[in-house]
Structure 1
């Protein structure tokens, strides 16, 4: 059975989120299937999905490491990385590894649909939008440095010129969504 838009494999360790996203995409004309971890995601590729929505954090697994094996098995598949821990560094890494798009949670179903279709211009931010808050810019810079240091907090703290515990406290305080 083929649907007008294609088959989306939703890979997320949050069962409620998978079901909610699946219902929303089904209403928009997508066929969906689900996987809860890296192993079940790789097995689900046998169903030949046309698109993959991939969570960055999959419990014990990291969704980022699944991008390359998925791309090797299905070179034309569209991969969208979803994360509740968005940063510029992780977005750049995801795109370099082969993801087609990157969305931060919470995300609305129209943005997911547009990303799956490759039509993000329809939901793109307007240029006259407020610049990001200072806390957000600092968080993204810290994430970029931490990524460059291979996740080594002590090394990142040295590069940033701060104490390791101060960096750990900043990492624990991820900035929330921007307020108008």
Structure 2
């Protein structure tokens, strides 16, 4: 039986993925509300306060970071996990600074997300990787930092990076995690 103390909001514009997550979390006893963007989230927050949230980083034409901020501004105690197919250090840092408790690259399943809710405090024993950052990783992080700065506007990002829009689109297609 669903528990109102375990209210989970899913902000995801992919209907099939949202439906799959909804069914899976409902089977685990969560009360789930699935939304597709910031406006419906703000309407929900006017009436209810979720305990948990799962937010896709890139929503149809808007950034999920605005949703993370809205959730945190409403109640800093909401455990918010950001999911993305466009993982980068820049977006992870912004998500955490705006109030997310965790950041996961897609594909992520219900087990991964539920585990992320319980790791909200962080882990001081996490293994530190001593490898130097590669040029490709630095390029990828710079691209994503600029994408965040431009609210995921590909044309403006390409202009700021001094590259052709199609070149940027090809790079994003190659690196996208599905």
TM-score category, normalised to shorter length:
0.7 to 0.9
Could you give the per-residue CA deviations for residues 33-59 of structure 1, whole angstroms, max 9, x where no partner exists? 111121111112223210111111221
Question: Relative contact order, CA 8 A, sep 6+: which one is greater?
Answer: 2
Separation (CA, whole Å) in 1 of partners of 2:104 and 2:97 = 15
2:82–2:103 contact (8 Å) kept in structure 1: yes
Provide the residue aligned with 1:55 in structure 2: 56
Provide the residue aligned with 1:156 in structure 2: 161
Provide the residue aligned with 1:33 in structure 2: 33
User: How big is the shift at 1:89?
Assistant: 0.9
The secondary structure found in structure 2 opposite 1:34 is strand
The secondary structure found in structure 2 opposite 1:6 is strand
1:9–1:32 contact (8 Å) kept in structure 2: yes
Provide the residue aligned with 2:112 in structure 1: 111
Provide the residue aligned with 2:153 in structure 1: none
Q: Which runs of 5+ in 1 are unaligned?
A: 158-163
Distance 1:106 1:54, change over 3 A: same
Separation (CA, whole Å) in 2 of partners of 1:63 and 1:147 = 13
User: How big is the shift at 1:20?
Assistant: 0.3
Separation (CA, whole Å) in 2 of partners of 1:174 and 1:91 = 20
Distance 1:5 1:90, change over 3 A: same
The secondary structure found in structure 1 opposite 2:175 is coil
1:80–1:102 contact (8 Å) kept in structure 2: yes
Could you give the per-residue CA deviations for residues 8-64 of structure 1, whole angstroms, max 9, x where no partner exists? 100111111111001111222322111112111111222321011111122122111
Separation (CA, whole Å) in 2 of partners of 1:117 and 1:51 = 11
Provide the residue aligned with 1:67 in structure 2: 68
The secondary structure found in structure 2 opposite 1:47 is coil
Separation (CA, whole Å) in 2 of partners of 1:52 and 1:149 = 24
Provide the residue aligned with 1:21 in structure 2: 21
1:9–1:34 contact (8 Å) kept in structure 2: yes
2:12–2:36 contact (8 Å) kept in structure 1: yes
Distance 1:75 1:148, change over 3 A: closer
Separation (CA, whole Å) in 1 of partners of 2:4 and 2:127 = 30
Provide the residue aligned with 1:3 in structure 2: 3
Provide the residue aligned with 1:82 in structure 2: 83
Separation (CA, whole Å) in 2 of partners of 1:16 and 1:47 = 25
